[in-house]
Chains A and B, each alone.
Chain A
Amino acid sequence: MMPGSAPLPRRAAAAGRWGCRLLPLLWGLLLLLSGPSGASEITFELPDNAKQCFYEDITQGTKCTLEFQVITGGHYDVDCRLEDPDGQVLYKEMKKQYDSFTFTASRNGTYKFCFSNEFSTFTHKTVYFDFQVGEDPPLFPSENRVSALTQMESACVSIHEALKSVIDYQTHFRLREAQGRSRAEDLNTRVAYWSVGEALILLVVSIGQVFLLKSFFSDKRTTTTRVGS
């Protein structure tokens, strides 16, 4: 019998009676008290000459990470700007393809970050960003347990963390592949248009040359005698 399994029957009975009602309530309460946490991962389209801003309320002392990458469009770059509640700029980069920025919130308030495509006239971009605020919410509402985790449970926790980083790497790989594929498809269409265009230009120019040359010799009769003598 595993250590830590003793409270199980008691918990099962409690869950049967009260847990079904209280468990989600406790969970909700804990989330409310612990403040905002978790990650927001969003991919959106940024039209040309447009700016898109996102806001989040963060409590003081929370460690946050903003990571972004441009997936499709133009030169695959975008302007990014992160401001704290006072308007002070924490991070500002122009025409970046991808970047990651970690900061600790120095005060409570609404933090704002904006992506701008105002420098581009006709290409709209697809931007991915991942804004991680604090830690992910724990799996159990009763995470305030004083006793340490059992070996099995801590093994589970470390596997969970490792899998989270695997998923993170997978996401990055997927974005890179999407970017590469977007470039390859652009290249393919460009090659198609260019070959057809060049064939036409070649024909037009060479036929035009011949007729132009012929026109030099056609109307002026005087030149023929000069050439002859």
Chain B
Amino acid sequence: MATELGTRVVGTPPGLSLGRGMRAFLLLLWFAARGDALYFHIGETEKKCFIEEIPDETMVIGNYRTQLYDKQREEYQPATPGLGMFVEVKDPEDKVILARQYGSEGRFTFTSHTPGEHQICLHSNSTKFSLFAGGMLRVHLDIQVGEHANDYAEIAAKDKLSELQLRVRQLVEQVEQIQKEQNYQRWREERFRQTSESTNQRVLWWSILQTLILVAIGVWQMRHLKSFFEAKKLV
């Protein structure tokens, strides 16, 4: 079952194909604009994991961009093309649904098929320990879930929607997301209730068992000691 969707192609309407250069330029522009996203530092062999608790049939798009510290210029430069990041996504049952290596800049997409905690792990594929030169790799990361992952410009172009229609479409997507989340919430609440009831049962059984053990032990102790003292002719 093809659950891994790989890189998502920048949307082009049918009948009009953008040149490769144009597409690359757009992607660069997109990254330059989004490049000011949150970033963090990651060590050479370090693995950073992020958790997304999502309902089923939800699309998640992650974008990352890496920069390596250049000692000569004393600033962060875009990483060499050979340096890539390995992205691994696990579903709530710990089954791997995406395990791919991307370049120094990448975009990964997956759609959840079971509700729950999905784990997205990133680590660099560098094998040479001296590559980072004692520094760290700077990773710009942006994860969009559900409705935020929709590319409205693409949808408007593809379905030829007017402004008002696009706004209504956005509202519909939002409401669908709310509905999915509430459905998931009902399932989780049921699990929570089951755990609480199990705890309740365990405590109840334990108290009954404890009383029985105490009584039985007490009776055994007295009988044993009585027979012991009778044998010793003390009683």
Residues of A at under 8 Å CB distance from B? Answer: 2, 4-5, 8, 11-12, 15, 19-21, 23-25, 27-29, 31-32, 35-36, 40-45, 52-57, 126, 131, 139-141, 150, 152-153, 156-157, 159-160, 163-164, 166-167, 170, 173-174, 177-178, 180-181, 184-185, 187-188, 191-192, 195, 198-199, 202-203, 206, 209-210, 213-214, 217, 224, 227
Contacts and interface: CB of A to CB of B under 8 A. Distances in A.
A29 B30 CA distance: 8
Given A173-B185, A177-B185, A187-B199, 17 more contacts: A8-B162, A20-B157, A27-B153, A31-B34, A44-B51, A53-B41, A54-B39, A56-B37, A159-B171, A167-B174, A170-B178, A185-B195, A202-B210, A202-B213, A203-B217, A209-B221, A224-B234
Interface residues of B, number: 75
B26 to A, nearest CB: 6
B13 interface: yes
Contacts of A12: 160
B157 A40 contact: no
Contacts of B2: none
Contacts of B157: 15, 19-20, 23
B214 interface: yes
A174 B53 contact: yes
B153 A40 contact: no
Contacts of B34: 31
9 contacts: A11-B162, A23-B153, A27-B153, A139-B167, A139-B170, A184-B196, A192-B202, A214-B225, A217-B232
Contacts of B10: 24
B174 A214 contact: no
Given A52-B40, A54-B40, A227-B234, A28 B167 contact: no
B209 interface: yes
A67 to B, nearest CB: 14
Contacts of A55: 38-40
Contacts of B217: 202-203, 206
Nearest to A113: B38
A24 to B, nearest CB: 6
Contact of A170 (B36, B154, B181, B196): B181
B131 interface: no
